[in-house]
Amino acid sequence: MLENIPVKRRHFLQSSSALAGLSAFPLAALAQSDRRRDLLVIANELGPNSLDIHTVGANRPSYGVSWVCYDRLITFGARRLPNGVMSYDLNKIEPELAESWQVAADGMSCTFKLRRNARFHDGTPVTARDVKWSLDRAVSVGGFPTFQLKAGSIEKPEQFVVVDDHTFRVDYLRKDKLLLPDLATPVPSIFNAELVKKHCTERDPWGLEWTKNNVAGGGAYRLENWRPGQEIVYVRNDEWKSGAMPKIRRVVQRDVPSAGNRRALLQKGDIDMTWELPPKDFLEIAQEKGNVKVASVPIENALWYLGMNVKAAPFDNPKVRQAVAYAVPYERVFDNAMYGRGERMWGGPAKAPNASWPQPHPYAYDIPKARALLKEAGLENGFETTLSYDIGNATVSEPACILIQESLALIGIKVQINKVPGANWRGALLKKDMPLILNRFGGWLNFPDYFFFWAYHGQDAVFNTMSYQNPAMDKLIDASRFEPDKKRYEDEVRGFVDMAWTDVPRVPLAQPALDVAMQKQIQGYRYWFHLQPDFRQLSKG
C-alpha cells in the first residue's frame, strides 16, 4: 500500500504517479495552503465528461457540476438520519431560484415567483423566459433528461408559461406526487438562455455541443478551470442569491485513478475528501482512530443486481432465471466483494410484506433447488453465457462476478466474464443486448413506483436493462404512480414487487452504501440522492 512507503509527504506528492503530468495547482502547494477554511481539495477516480447534464452520456460527476453551477426553481430541505449523518429531505420542498410558489386550488398548476435579484454568472438577470427555455430544452433533448422529467408528468413545452419577467407557471397534465420533487433534481437546471442561443445551430438547436464544455448558469459556484481527465476547479459565486452563501470559497477536484493513491493522499492530510474508494478501504478507515472519518448511508432506492436479458434464450424462460437466483452465493458476494457495506437483499418472505423498497427477495443460496429448476427448464446439462460488468466498478464487480461464475458452474452454467470499459458501460447497457450483467442502479426519488417505472416498466423504460415486459406489472406501476388512496397504493406496490420476485428478470444482491471519507475537520456533509457532494453546505471546522 502506498501509505506504508516511508517517504516524506512533499516527496510523495512530487513523485507519486497519481500526480504525473498534472502541473496546475500542485497538490503539495495546495496542501500547505489548505489550512485555510475557504479551500476544499478533493481527489476521485474520474471527473465529469460533460459540464451539462442534458448532454448524451453525461456521467455522474457531470450531475455534480450541474448541481453547484446551476440553480433549480426549488430544492429539498434537510433531516438528520438515525446514524447522525445529515440527508436531504424528500418531504421538505424549499426555495432556490423561486422565492415562493403556489399550487392552484384545482391542483392542476403551480405558479412560481422568481427572485428579482437573481443573476447568471455573467451578470445577466434571470427571467421567467430563461426558465421556460431551460425546461423546454429538458423535455425536448430526449434520453435521460426527458425521461426523468416525464417520470413527474413534466412532458411538453406547452406546460410552461411565462406570466411576466418574474412569474412562471407549470400547467399539469395530471396530478402527480412526483412533479414538484422532480423540479428539484439536477435535470431542470436553469440556463442563461440568450447566452446558449448564441451557440445554437440548425443541427444543434439546444446548444448542447457548447454547454458540454461551457457553463451558462447562475449557481453558487462558477467554473474557473476544467481540464478533462485531470481536474476541475470551482470558485464561489459571491453574487449568488438563491441560498445561504457557501463557506467554501474554492474547490479543486482532481482525477487520481488509483484508489491506493487517493487513500494515501487522504490519510496524509493532503486532500480533504474522496468518495470512490473500494469497500474494503472504507471499512478499514472507519475502524481506524486517525484524522479521517467516514460518513455512510444506504443509498435510497438503489440495488446491486444480476440482470438477465429476458428477450433471448435461455433467459426468456422464468425457470432458468429462478435457477440462477437460487445459485447466487449472496453471503460470499456481500462479505468478500462488498465487505458488508450496505444492506442484505435476499432470504425474505415469499410475498412482499409491505410497500417498502428496496426489500429482501425470497431467494437464497440453494444449489439443489437451482439444479432442479434448470432440469425442469430442459437444461439439465447447463449452457454457456457471458456475464458483463463495468470496469469502473471493478473493485466490487470483479470479485462478485468471479464468485457468481464459480457458483453457476455448479449447476452447469459456464460463464465467460466480459469487462466493459467504464466510458462505454452506459451505452452498452442501453443497447439491452448483453445476456447477463452485474450492475448497480438507483432511482433519485425515493418511491417504489418511481424505481419500477425506471427499471421494470415495459414501455421503453431507459434502465429496464433486462428488456422485461409484463403488461400486468405495467398496469400496477401506472396505477400506483397516481393513486391517492394509501391502502390501494400499498396493495399495488406489493403486487408489482411480487411479480418481480416471481418473474425475477433481475436478482437483487444488496442495497449499496454511499461511503464518503473526509478529514475530521470537514463539517456539513449532506447525503444527496444524486450521490455527489454539495459544496454549498460544507465548511472546515
DSSP character string of 130-144: HHHHHHHHHHHS-HH
* Residues 533 and 388 reside in one and the same domain: no
> For position 424, what pLDDT does the model report?
85
pLDDT in the model for residue 3: 32
* pLDDT at 6 (0 to 100): 35
Q: Tell me if 146 is assigned to some domain.
A: yes
Q: Answer whether residue 214 is part of any domain.
A: no
| Residue 187 grid coordinates | 435535470
pLDDT band at 30 (very low <50, low <70, confident <90, very high): low
**E strand or H helix at 450:** helix 448-455
What are the pLDDT digits (tens) for 330-364? 999 999 999 999 999 999 999 999 999 999 999 99
Decide: helix, strand or coil at residue 125.
Answer: strand
Decide if 399 contacts 336 (C-beta within 8 A): yes
* Whole-angstrom distance, CA of residue 173 vs CA of residue 474: 20
* pTM of the predicted model as reported, rounded to 2 decimal places: 0.87
Contact 273, 517 (CB under 8 A): yes
Least confident of 20-24, 133-137, 478-482: 20-24
> For residue 456, is it within any domain?
yes
Give the residue-averaged pLDDT of 207-231: 97
Distance CA 59, CA 62 (A): 5
What amino acid occupies position 140? S
Residue 223 lies inside a defined structural domain of this protein: yes
pLDDT band at 461 (very low <50, low <70, confident <90, very high): confident
- For 185, counting Cβ atoms within 10 Å of its Cβ (0-12 exposed, 13-18 middle, 19+ buried), the class is buried
Question: Residue 432 above 60 pLDDT?
Answer: yes
* Percentage of residues in the chain having pLDDT higher than 70: 93
Burial 228-244 (b: 16+ CB within 10 A, else e): eebbbbbebbeebbbbe
Question: Residue 78 has what pLDDT?
Answer: 97
Query: Which residues touch 141 (CB under 8 Å, ≥6 apart)?
Result: 54, 206, 208
79 falls within a domain: yes
Residue 412: CB atoms within 10 A of its CB come to 18
Domain assignment of residue 465, yes or no: yes
510, three cell numbers: 444488496
What pLDDT is attached to residue 103? 97
* Residue with cell string 418511481: 450
Written as one string, the DSSP assignment of 251-312 is EEEEE---HHHHHHHHHTTS-SEE----HHHHHHHHHS-SSEEEEEEEPTTEEEEEEE-TTS
Distance from C-alpha of 74 to C-alpha of 94, rounded to nearest angstrom: 6
Pair (369, 353) in one structural domain: yes
Q: Which of 351, 323, 358 is nearest to 452 (CA)?
A: 358
Q: List all residues 6 or more positions away from 15 whose beta carbon is below 8 Å from its beta carbon.
A: 7
Point out which residues pair with 83 in neighbouring strands.
none
User: Mean of the pLDDT values across residues 55-69?
Assistant: 93
Instruction: Check whether residue 317 and residue 253 sit in a common domain.
Output: no
3-class DSSP state of 118? coil
Task: 418-425: list long-range contacts, CB under 8 Å, 24+ apart.
Answer: 418/386, 418/387, 418/388, 418/389, 419/388, 419/389, 419/391, 419/394, 420/388, 420/389, 420/390, 420/391, 421/391, 421/392, 422/46, 422/390, 422/391, 422/392, 422/393, 423/49, 425/390, 425/391, 425/392
Q: Are both 412 and 313 inside the same structural domain?
A: yes
Q: Burial-class residue 130 by CB neighbours within 10 Å (0-12, 13-18, 19+).
A: buried
Does the pLDDT of residue 288 top 80, yes or no? yes
For 282, other C-beta atoms within 10 Å of its C-beta total 22
Question: Would you say the C-alpha torsion 26, 28, 32, 38 has a positive or negative sign?
Answer: positive
* Whether residue 341 sits in one domain with residue 233: no
Q: pLDDT digits over 241-275, tens only? A: 999 999 999 999 999 999 999 999 999 999 999 99
Beta bridge mates, 307: 437, 506
Residue 536 and residue 499 share a domain: no
Q: What CA–CA distance (Å, rounded) separates 161 from 169?
A: 5
Q: What is the pLDDT of residue 27?
A: 53
* Domain shared by 282 and 318, yes or no: no
Note the pLDDT of residue 303: 97
User: What is the average pLDDT score of the chain?
Assistant: 92
Instruction: List the one residue out of 124, 133, 101 whose CA is nearest residue 239.
Output: 124
Residues 461, 423 share a domain: yes
d(CA 115, CA 100): 9
Is 44 in the same domain as 158? no
The answer to whether the beta carbons of residues 311 and 367 sit under 8 Å apart is no
The CATH number for 499's domain is 3.10.105.10
pLDDT confidence band for 28 (50 / 70 / 90): low
pLDDT of the residue at 426: 81
Please name the residues in contact with 367: beta carbons below 8 A apart, sequence gap of 6 or more: 326, 327, 407, 410, 411
3-state secondary structure of 393: helix
- What is the mean predicted confidence (pLDDT) over 409-420? 97
If asked whether residues 287 and 366 sit together in one domain, one would say no
Q: Check: CB of residue 109 under 8 Å from CB of residue 170.
A: yes
Contacts (Cβ under 8 Å, ≥6 apart) of 366 = 326
Per-residue pLDDT reduced to its tens digit, 1-17 = 333 333 333 333 433 44
Whether 131 and 114 have beta carbons less than 8 Å apart is answered as yes
- Domain total of the chain: 3
Whether residues 329 and 282 share a domain: the answer is no
Which pLDDT does position 427 carry in this prediction? 83
Mean pLDDT for the stretch of residues 359-376: 98
**Domain boundaries, position 108:** 71-197
Which residue, chain included where needed, has cell 426555495?
95
Comparing CA positions, the residue from 111, 115, 116, 120 lying closest to residue 99 is 115
Measured between alpha carbons, how far is residue 469 from residues 148, 388, 441, 460 in Å? 20, 22, 18, 10
Amino acid at 95: P
Residue 79 and residue 146 in one domain: yes
Parallel, antiparallel, or unpaired for β 74-80 and 413-420?
Answer: unpaired
What are the tens digits of pLDDT across the range 493-533?
A: 999 999 999 999 999 999 999 999 999 999 999 999 999 98
Is the residue at 210 inside a domain?
no
CATH code of the domain containing 104:
3.90.76.10
**Residue 60 covered by a domain:** no
